[in-house]
A and B are shown apart, each in its own frame.
Chain A
């Protein structure tokens, strides 16, 4: 009984890996590997955080493929449990609130980005995972305001953005917070194009 309940829990209350997750993981892994060969290896293991880790898939993949220590934070307690079951160090948190200044060499985020009519908002965890408010940027905006504090001065942000959310608008928000943006990867789907942005200061 418990197993079945857990499985239902997993499917309905935690966002499961999809095209956007794979694209973000792949782009970040490739870039982090290239970056780490340019700089001499140090004894300090580099530290990364995936914000809104959900199932923990991206955090686990990046940790496995790069050797970085990758934490996962999520607002959703079900997501924290699933990520931990995958072996991801999970912290229940609102964005980057409980992390120290300059703590991370890399921060990854596949945000809730779908523009949603306020009248259609449901009050459940899947809505929290998907909905970016009316313009799709309701969570991206506070994230960009907060991420600079917890990011090391030469750290990088890997942010997944959809054409539905407005890539130019997100780039402008990032620039307002002192970041310059590079598009690492684009992939087109029937209703949207997904882009992985790398933000640097």
Chain B
């Protein structure tokens, strides 16, 4: 995901801002892996293979 996505996304539960912790990046803009943490409720969301998983925790493990 691009860093600039941070201005567009929010916590799916309470719509508050997220904080990015990137563990792997590509160039200046692309985040490959890391976590997004809600600044209000503290829920964390993974970023894997460049894709943020912003499903609420109870839906996250749905892998049919």
Contacts and interface: CB of A to CB of B under 8 A. Distances in A.
B50 interface: yes
Interface in B11-64: 11-12, 15, 49-56, 59, 62-64
Contacts of B54: 91-93, 97-98
A123 interface: yes
Given A89-B2, A123-B64, A124-B64, A97 B51 contact: no
Given A92-B51, A123-B64, A101 B1 contact: no
Contacts of B5: 71, 89, 91
A90 interface: yes
A94 B59 contact: yes
Given A80-B51, A93-B55, A98 B11 contact: yes
Contacts of A75: 55, 59, 62
Interface residues of B, number: 22
How many interface residues does chain A have, given as a range? Answer: 20 to 34
Contacts of A123: 64
Interface string A66-82: 00000100010100110
A89 B3 CA distance: 11
Given A100-B15, A101-B15, A123-B64, A90 B8 contact: no
Top-7 shortest CB links A-B: A98-B54, A97-B12, A98-B12, A92-B53, A80-B51, A93-B54, A100-B10
Interface in A132-176: none
A32 to B, nearest CB: 18
A128 B2 CA distance: 28
Nearest to B59: A94
A179 interface: no
Given A75-B55, A98-B12, A99-B8, 10 more contacts: A77-B53, A80-B51, A89-B1, A91-B52, A94-B12, A97-B54, A97-B56, A103-B8, A123-B64, A124-B64
